[in-house]
Structure 1
Amino acid sequence: MKRAPATQTAPRGRPKDPAKRAALLNAARDLFLRFGPDGVTVDEIAAQAGVSKVTLYANFTDRDALIEAVIAQESERIVSNDYLAEARGKDFEAALLGAGERILGFLANPQMVGLERLIAVAAESHPAMARRFFEVGPGRNRDILVELIRSGVAHGRVAVDDPVEAASDLVGLWQGFLRLETTFRYRPPPGIDEIRERAARGVALFMRLYGCEPAEKKGPA
């Protein structure tokens, strides 16, 4: 009897176990970050997750879909859609401060270097996936910052002509040389106190660049 190809998927309608899907994502994340996307097989991922390869293909159509899901999961740790919902109820500067702390905390994680390698290698092997990777990762988080800034414009907190460029400016103010210094081991990752200080300083500088003077502080016309 001829063996089914490795890429065969499970029959449609097969029930999926959320716990097994989570185990697969965690196993794939660990192995991909340690060995790179080309150094790991689906058999190894299934074995580490404690499930069968059939279960893996029941949850992910192929290896590329699993890589994309891992990247999407990691991007959720930066600024999630849940955070955006919470931020809508906060003061504008407090919302930006929270976003900055989350972004800096994620970027300060030593495993971020491994994630960048995962994205770079996957995009090189599959050029058509590069745009999708950006959309589910940095692009999605950029869009959340852009929405926060647009809200600030609508409420008269900032004067911004191009919210996308303004979001880029804000991320630059938060990061500075931090990413390069930690990537090249020039310095250790920042602790929580430094992350808070950098986030607050970036927001303060951003408000000096784009902030609107409150109406009650304005002099006579």
Structure 2
Amino acid sequence: MATHKETGAPARLPPPPRKPDPTPAPSKADTILNAARDIFLAHGFSAATTDMIQREAHVSKSTVYAAWPTKEALFAAVIQRECGQFANSLREMDFETDDITRSLTRLARAYLDLVVSPMGLALYRVIVSEAPRFPELGRAFYAAGPEVVASIVGQFLERAAARGQIDVQAVGYTTAAMLFISIVRGEAQLECLTHPNARPSEAQIDRWVEAAVQTFVQAFVKRPEGG
């Protein structure tokens, strides 16, 4: 056993080095994901680097790599979080009313507000531009975004059908839900993507929502007998 030369007492060994945490603390993880989101949306996936992200987040590379070993994994985490936050907010909204048109309008407005927001448009641009080179990122976005929203809308339509408000038997709940979000998103998203320096007014968004909802209502909403 090692001893101090002067006293002969056992030498105090240094404590063993602490093992790094396998994942950063929640608050630090949020900081990293926020930084990653901002860097990816500003520079695109290919041009963004983990060096940029760790500097933006004010953390070490080892902290980033401990949770996300590759840039693709980090971007997938950003996609999951951004899409998941919107899906959760949609689930928490109360759409159950006796007025099916009003319910559909609230659903459409909540979805379109996200789709044409600066963040929503920027994320969509990055995904579409990188999908040919990184198809797994495109699939991750589709599964976490449009598919989840369609599932939430489909569940709403199923409950509305049980109340006798709507009839989508001809196509089924899943297809009807996809049709609904596609009608809502279609013209509005295309116009905003092709006019990047313009921001739609609240009145314009209302018109897009109304046109989409009325189209869907005409196709699927049951009308009173004799109406």
Normalising to structure 2: TM-score of the pair?
Answer: 0.77
**Partner in structure 1 of residue 205 of structure 2:** 195
Q: Say which of 142, 151, 157 aligns to 1:149.
A: 157
CA 1:51–1:13: 2 relative to 1, 3 Å: closer
Q: Quick check: 2:150–2:181 contact (8 Å CA) kept in 1?
A: no
Q: Aligned residue for 2:178?
A: 168
What's the counterpart of residue 4 of structure 1? none
**What letter matches 2:70 in structure 1?**
D
Which AA in structure 2 matches 1:102?
Answer: A
Instruction: Report the counterpart of residue 94 of structure 2 in structure 1.
Output: 87
CA deviation profile, 1:66-99 (whole Å, cap 9, x unmatched): 111212233245x413422433655544442222
Equivalent-residue separation in structure 2 for 1:197 and 1:154 (angstroms):
29
Q: 1: CA distance between counterparts of 2:93 and 2:77?
A: 24
1:15 Cα offset (Å): 5.8
The answer to whether 1:75 aligns with 2:99 is no
Structure 2's unaligned 5+ residue stretches are 1-18
Letter in 2 for 1:104: L
Whole-Å separation in 2 of the counterparts to 1:95 and 1:55: 45
Bigger drift between 161-170 and 32-41 goes to: 161-170
Deviates more, 1:185-194 or 1:20-29: 185-194
The aligned runs of 1:1-221 (5 Å cut-off) are: 14=22, 16-76=24-84, 79-87=86-94, 89-91=96-98, 92-161=100-169, 162-185=172-195, 188-214=198-224, 218-219=225-226
| Separation in structure 2 between the aligned mates of residue 85 and residue 112 of structure 1, nearest angstrom | 20
Q: 1:204 to 1:21 in 2, by over 3 A?
A: same
Cα 1:181/1:85, change in 2 over 3 Å: closer
Structure 2: distance between partners of 1:130 and 1:186: 22
Q: 1:12 to 1:88 in 2, by over 3 A?
A: farther
Structure 1: runs of 5+ lacking an equivalent: 1-10
Identity %: 27
Aligned length: 205
Indicate the structure (1 or 2) with the bigger Cα radius of gyration. 2
Residue 108 of structure 1: how far off its partner (Å): 1.6
Deviation at 1:195, TM superposition (A): 2.2
Distance, in Å, in 2 between the alignment partners of 1:112 and 1:15 is: 28
8 Å Cα contact 2:167/2:221 also seen in 1: yes
Moved over 6 A (4+): none
> What is the distance in 2 between the residues matched to 1:187 and 1:31?
20
